[in-house]
Structure 1
Amino acid sequence: MSKTTPKYLLLSLPTSVVPSHHADDALEAISTTVSAENGSAAPFSIPEFKIGTLDALVQQADELAKLESQCQGVVAKVADALRNILDGDEAQIERMMVVNDKPVDQYLRTFQWNKVKYRADKSLAELIDLLHKEGASIDNDIRFKYSQYNQVKNTLATLQRKQTGNLSTKSLASIVDPRTVVQDSEYIETHLIAVPNSQEKEFLKNYETVAPMVVPRSASLVASDNEFTLYAVTTFKKHSVEFVHKARENKWIPRDFKYVEGGKEEERKEVERVGGDERKVWGETLRLGRTAWSEAVMVWIHVLVLRVFVETVLRYGLPLDFVSALVRTPSSKQADKAKKNLDDKYSYLAGNAFGRDKKGRVQRDDPQDMHGAGEGSAEYTPYVFYEFEFN
């Protein structure tokens, strides 16, 4: 059974939601509205940024919506990479998924805008561009390293199958006596055929006649396992292609083999070399994954902060007088309840765009051209609201 994943609600409301217009009182009102059984509300620090024109803000709101979706995708991609290289070990995965050396919950509760990397005196356009480039760089780094790891992992798996598989797939270097195979003949050659054990009698009865010029009684037993028996069969070269084709038609598996002096030892060394490469790249990918997840989450949250700020300006206007809060809910079910409580209490903020029907239920009348629940969302909220989680 999968564990329940907390869901976070990041929102801002004007301080006018309380008579005192005080941020602390507004936060208390939000917390009471959410109710303790659904989650907990805490203040969330959002600095004031340089505000440009209204047209620029509207455009930046759209850019941030797209960028936030991309950042969320990068976080999910890094998380998937970590889960795969750790084989789903939840304890190890949890240890790796920390943000700035903190559990994600602690990072969010103590969030402060990184003024060193993203100076608040820069324009919104500059900050958006900087965050976009950083997110893209993280995406490229993890994509390259994870692809490299998968390549070496697959190469090792292929080599190991050749060492441990059945006679239809495993290496024949340590199995076939070179004296069994006709070498350097101008006219004849030896074919190694892996025959399913259930078809061995049929093979011995028919192999001489499936193609012209098969040397009579040339089939010799080379090796056998629980699934296949390996035979060596001699044919004239001019009909070798036809014999191989007919063997495949009969579900007998021709095996490529060329005797190489010291081949067995070379294969062993190759497995050891690639195994060493796999362990090295695994460690590199794990370290990068841990760093990338931390950095990707930080970029994502900073983009979310910009979304809240821009949307707050568009919603509530100037001068800025708002309270921002992070609501942590134990699950999607509690998040939905908290959201409903907030909608019920603060629907009046939307004016004509958000009201109630005759039974007192919140309804939406005309949300066109309004920002709110995020790109692709059909739901309009009367206050600035975004929800997210870490799967």
Structure 2
Amino acid sequence: MSSEEKGYLLISAPKTREDTYNTLTRKISDENDLATQFKFAVPDLKVGTLDSLVALSDDLGRVDTYVETVTRKIAQQLFEVLDNPADRSEVLTVGQTNYEKYINYFTWDEAKYPSTQSLKVITEVIHAQCHKFDDELKTKALEYTNLVHTLNAEERKAGGNLTVRDISESVKQEDVIQTEYLETLFIVVHKPVLKEFWSSYEKMSQYVLPRSAKQLDEDNDYALIRVVLFKKFIADFHSAAREKRYTVRDYVYDPEKSAKAERKKMEAERDRLKKNLVRWCKTNFAEAYVGWVHLKAVRIFVESVLRYGLPINFQAVLLLPKKGKQTKLRKVLSDMFSHLASKNVFNAKEEESETDKFYPYVSLDVNLNMSK
């Protein structure tokens, strides 16, 4: 199914003598082929007081947006870590079930969210859970991303010239003279001025060891040369090198440290973090998504009770509009349920924008396109 076709509508209407779901099926599917529909089973949740429902209705929109945002963040992080898999919908699952099928055949999870709890408590539990996921995702994603960026920078250096790339593979232990008074420097010299360097390096500061210069490596443009001098005159040598536009590499020889070994170690750590992040995203996408779908169930319940009153007697239906038929679907639904709103109220709302549009039935958007 293409990403454009994941824009569902979750609606509710009062139950009638003629089964509401069958009536909808006949009108929107059999007669007009406008959508695919699924019964959305909402249990009889605890209603509480009217005031509490009104207050919760205001909060639910905000919490719904936040939980959806966190759910999408996890999905998009998973796609990014997996290098944008071709079939994204197969990556996102709840248990062994594709995430879209989960909402198509939704049943309330009594173990996770006991229906005996108040609606406010259920909402707060889902919100708190997603807040925890949001914080954990930021930490884990940052750790992984920072390491990937470090590795990429190292790879760019490895592919660069001798002024920037790691030189540990070019320097051997016998090339390094390090005593209480002597220091070894590693200088990168542009090849066109190499002859000048050989003739003048001993005079670039006092107490440069005669004939201590030794070429260790070269690339197309530069040569890497070792020079030994007294530590006391290192600053003078650095100053002279800058004037001649030689590059003194900031490198200290460590026989225990190899750039290649360090890179392999970082690559192994990256692979470990990637594996853990993929596992975390898959597990917690399912948890966040399940919470989000239950939050939709809470919203449709609250809005239906506020709209249709007590006793509870409504049918919730999930609709997947056929491509290009959403406008016609809305019209058919409005015609079917126009009796649920006074003509004056309904007409007054007709001029509102699509996002704030009033419908004579309860309607919530459910966008399952996790790619954006």
Would the aligned equivalents of 1:33 and 1:342 in 2 still touch at CA under 8 Å?
A: no
Could you say which residue in structure 1 is the equivalent of 2:347? 355
CA offset digits 1:52-106 (Å, max 9, x no partner): 2222111111221111111111111111221122111224x44321123111232
Work out whether 1:28 is the aligned partner of 2:20: no
Sort the Cα spacing of 1:204 and 1:15 in 2 relative to 1 into closer, same or farther, 3 A. Answer: farther
Work out whether 1:86 is the aligned partner of 2:82: yes
2:101 to 84, 106, 111: 106
Work out whether 1:167 is the aligned partner of 2:159: no
Sort the Cα spacing of 1:243 and 1:341 in 2 relative to 1 into closer, same or farther, 3 A. Answer: farther
Q: Give the Cα–Cα distance (whole angstroms) in 2 for the partners of residues 303 and 84 of structure 1.
A: 27
Work out whether 1:382 is the aligned partner of 2:369: no
Could you say which residue in structure 1 is the equivalent of 2:114? 119
Q: Give the Cα–Cα distance (whole angstroms) in 2 for the partners of residues 257 and 272 of structure 1.
A: 20
2:359 partner SS: coil
Would the aligned equivalents of 1:75 and 1:296 in 2 still touch at CA under 8 Å?
A: yes
Would the aligned equivalents of 1:213 and 1:239 in 2 still touch at CA under 8 Å?
A: yes
Could you say which residue in structure 2 is the equivalent of 1:307? 299
Task: Give runs of aligned pairs for residues 66-215 of structure 1, distance below 5 A.
Answer: 66-91=62-87, 93-157=88-152, 165-178=160-173, 180=175, 183-184=178-179, 186=181, 190-194=184-188, 200-201=191-192, 213=205
Work out whether 1:283 is the aligned partner of 2:237: no
Structure 1 position 139, deviation (Å): 2.9
Question: 2:92 corresponds to which letter in structure 1?
Answer: M
Question: 2:93 corresponds to which letter in structure 1?
Answer: V
Q: Give the Cα–Cα distance (whole angstroms) in 2 for the partners of residues 126 and 164 of structure 1.
A: 57
Sort the Cα spacing of 1:175 and 1:61 in 2 relative to 1 into closer, same or farther, 3 A. Answer: same
TM-score scaled by structure 1?
Answer: 0.77
Question: 1:300 corresponds to which letter in structure 2?
Answer: W
Could you say which residue in structure 1 is the equivalent of 2:48? 52
Structure 1 position 277, deviation (Å): 2.9
TM-score scaled by structure 2?
Answer: 0.80
Q: How many residues align?
A: 363
2:333 to 336, 342, 345: 342
Sort the Cα spacing of 1:48 and 1:223 in 2 relative to 1 into closer, same or farther, 3 A. Answer: same
Structure 1 position 240, deviation (Å): 4.7
Q: Give the Cα–Cα distance (whole angstroms) in 2 for the partners of residues 76 and 270 of structure 1.
A: 35
Q: Give the Cα–Cα distance (whole angstroms) in 1 for the partners of residues 340 and 235 of structure 2.
A: 80
Structure 1 position 255, deviation (Å): 1.9
Question: 1:43 corresponds to which letter in structure 2?
Answer: K
Sort the Cα spacing of 1:340 and 1:178 in 2 relative to 1 into closer, same or farther, 3 A. Answer: farther
Provide the identity percentage: 28
Structure 1 position 262, deviation (Å): 4.3
Would the aligned equivalents of 2:39 and 2:105 in 1 still touch at CA under 8 Å?
A: no
Would the aligned equivalents of 1:33 and 1:341 in 2 still touch at CA under 8 Å?
A: no
Structure 1 position 173, deviation (Å): 1.7
Would the aligned equivalents of 1:27 and 1:43 in 2 still touch at CA under 8 Å?
A: no
Structure 1 position 305, deviation (Å): 0.8
Segments of structure 2 that go 5 or more residues without pairing to the other structure are: none
2:319 partner SS: strand
Q: Give the Cα–Cα distance (whole angstroms) in 2 for the partners of residues 79 and 346 of structure 1.
A: 36
Q: Give the Cα–Cα distance (whole angstroms) in 1 for the partners of residues 31 and 175 of structure 2.
A: 80
Structure 1 position 326, deviation (Å): 0.6
Could you say which residue in structure 1 is the equivalent of 2:252? 258
Q: Give the Cα–Cα distance (whole angstroms) in 1 for the partners of residues 153 and 368 of structure 2.
A: 38
Question: 2:253 corresponds to which letter in structure 1?
Answer: Y
Q: Give the Cα–Cα distance (whole angstroms) in 2 for the partners of residues 73 and 148 of structure 1.
A: 21
1:364 to 327, 351, 359: 351
Sort the Cα spacing of 1:206 and 1:355 in 2 relative to 1 into closer, same or farther, 3 A. Answer: farther
CA offset digits 1:298-357 (Å, max 9, x no partner): 1110001111111111122222322211111355x444553354346545644333228x
Would the aligned equivalents of 2:74 and 2:284 in 1 still touch at CA under 8 Å?
A: yes
Could you say which residue in structure 2 is the equivalent of 1:64? 60
Could you say which residue in structure 2 is the equivalent of 1:13? 13
Would the aligned equivalents of 1:7 and 1:335 in 2 still touch at CA under 8 Å?
A: no
Task: Give runs of aligned pairs for residues 239-250 of structure 1, distance below 5 A.
Answer: 240-241=234-235, 244=238
Q: Give the Cα–Cα distance (whole angstroms) in 2 for the partners of residues 293 and 48 of structure 1.
A: 27
Structure 1 position 218, deviation (Å): 8.1
Would the aligned equivalents of 1:224 and 1:230 in 2 still touch at CA under 8 Å?
A: yes
Q: Give the Cα–Cα distance (whole angstroms) in 2 for the partners of residues 120 and 160 of structure 1.
A: 55
Q: Give the Cα–Cα distance (whole angstroms) in 1 for the partners of residues 5 and 222 of structure 2.
A: 49
Q: Give the Cα–Cα distance (whole angstroms) in 2 for the partners of residues 178 and 131 of structure 1.
A: 60
Would the aligned equivalents of 1:34 and 1:40 in 2 still touch at CA under 8 Å?
A: no
Sort the Cα spacing of 1:292 and 1:234 in 2 relative to 1 into closer, same or farther, 3 A. Answer: same
CA offset digits 1:255-288 (Å, max 9, x no partner): 2111223433xx4443443333333332222222
Sort the Cα spacing of 1:30 and 1:122 in 2 relative to 1 into closer, same or farther, 3 A. Answer: farther
Sort the Cα spacing of 1:263 and 1:44 in 2 relative to 1 into closer, same or farther, 3 A. Answer: closer
1:42 partner SS: strand
Would the aligned equivalents of 2:205 and 2:236 in 1 still touch at CA under 8 Å?
A: no
